[in-house]
Amino acid sequence: MKSSNNYTILAVDDAKDSLMLLDFDLVEAGYEVITADSGNEALAMLKENKVHLILLDMYMPGISGLTTLQEVKVQNDFAHIPVIMLSSSGDEEQIVAALEFGADDYVTKPYISNVLLARIRNALRFMEKTLELETLAKIDFLTSVNNRGSFQELVGKAISLAKRNDENVSLAMFDLDLFKKVNDNFGHEAGDKALIDFAKILIDTFREYDIIGRVGGEEFAILLSHCTLNEAQCAANTLRKNIKNKPFSYYGNTIYLRISAGVVCSDTQKSSFKSLLSAADKRLYIAKTTGRDKVIYESAQNPFINNKPVCT
């Protein structure tokens, strides 16, 4: 868990004396603190600041604490932020409503400082564990790139964005040629290391905002935004040549890897994750059945046309 001074807490209360006391206790405990005296101000601050936890007064004029809580929890960017409700009232119905709307805890005012701080630590610890588990669920356990499910989700969002902006995206699929022989001849541990090294090379070769995923045993795919077909094909061929000329050493054995690739460019308004991946997979199949160690590329709307390489 991070140290307390790496967390920012948003304290929301219409009573100035309550805000001053919260600010003092939280700063004393090592937290960064920002304050708001209304629900509207709190929602505005969330958009402008990275907040890790919210302390939210239940009863405020204008937008109530419950309404503010609901607004926070329905927005994807903020829904993960733990919220602890504060109130001098012990109204059971309001407490139950707050918890059902997504509050993580409830503290009665005037609060006991050590108790509030302990509940803050618990809420932050639970948030960290939840985010860690969510991350693990989206990452390939071996190579640490996106797994197929996460890759599909991210590519779907990228395609939707490209459609709104009337832009094309390119997708490349890579397969390590004759990879079974690596496992058979040098062992599965060597094969695993080869996959890990290949994933690292993909990360180093492509741009930071390109989306990389492991979509099969030795199959990887990359979604390249703002990238023409020819640019994607050039990048794939550069990778192919670099891999071909690079010796890998595993357990005293020198191994040379080869890759085949299929590259497609989207028809902006018609493409989906499924259609792009299928089109790239078809080109990859052609590459593997016509000699391997090559890149086959065409636009998705014109299959098996225009395959003369621009860069080789």
Q: Evaluate if residue 33 carries a pLDDT over 70.
A: yes
Percent of all residues in the chain with a pLDDT value above 90, rounded to a whole number:
77
| Residue 307 scores a pLDDT above 90 | no
Burial 285-310 (b: 16+ CB within 10 A, else e): ebbbeeeebbbbbbbbeeeeeeeeee
**For residue 19, what pLDDT is reported?**
93
pLDDT tens by residue, 243-270: 998 999 999 999 999 999 999 998 766 7
pLDDT at res. 232: 93
Strand arrangement of the beta sheet that strand 169-176 belongs to: 211-214, 219-225, 169-176, 259-265, 295-299
Q: Residue 203 — φ and ψ, nearest 5°?
A: -60, -40
pLDDT (average), residues 191-203: 95
User: Residue 280's closest CA among 296, 292, 268, 291?
Assistant: 296
Spatial contact of 100 and 72, defined as CB atoms under 8 Å apart = no
Residues, the chain: 312
Q: pLDDT, tens digit, for every residue of 136-153?
A: 889 999 999 999 999 999
Taking a C-beta distance cutoff of 8 angstroms, is the pair 286, 262 a contact?
yes
Average pLDDT, the chain: 90
Q: What is the mean pLDDT of residues 173-198?
A: 95
Instruction: Specify whether 48 is catalytic.
Output: no
> 8 and 49 in contact (C-beta within 8 Å)?
yes
Of 218, 219, 231, 298, the catalytic one is 218
Residue 298 has what pLDDT?
Answer: 72
Q: pLDDT band at 91, cuts 50/70/90?
A: confident
pLDDT at 311 over 70: no
Q: Give residue 280's pLDDT.
A: 94
Question: Would you tell me how many other CB atoms lie within 10 Å of the CB of residue 56?
Answer: 26
Question: Residue 22: pLDDT above 60?
Answer: yes
Task: Give pLDDT, residue 269.
Answer: 60
Torsion on CA atoms 91, 73, 61, 57, rounded to nearest 10: 50
Least confident of 36-45, 100-109, 223-232, 299-308: 299-308
Q: How do 169-176 and 219-225 pair as beta strands?
A: antiparallel
What domains does the chain contain, in order, with CATH numbers?
4-136 (3.40.50.2300), 148-299 (3.30.70.270)
Q: Could you tell me the two tokens for 139?
A: 């990452």
Q: Per-residue pLDDT averaged across 201-219, rounded? A: 94
Is residue 298 within 8 A of residue 283, CB to CB? The reply is yes
d(CA 312, CA 299): 18
**Residue labelled with tokens 């001098």:** 88
Give the pLDDT score at 88. 83
- Residue 271: per-residue pLDDT: 84
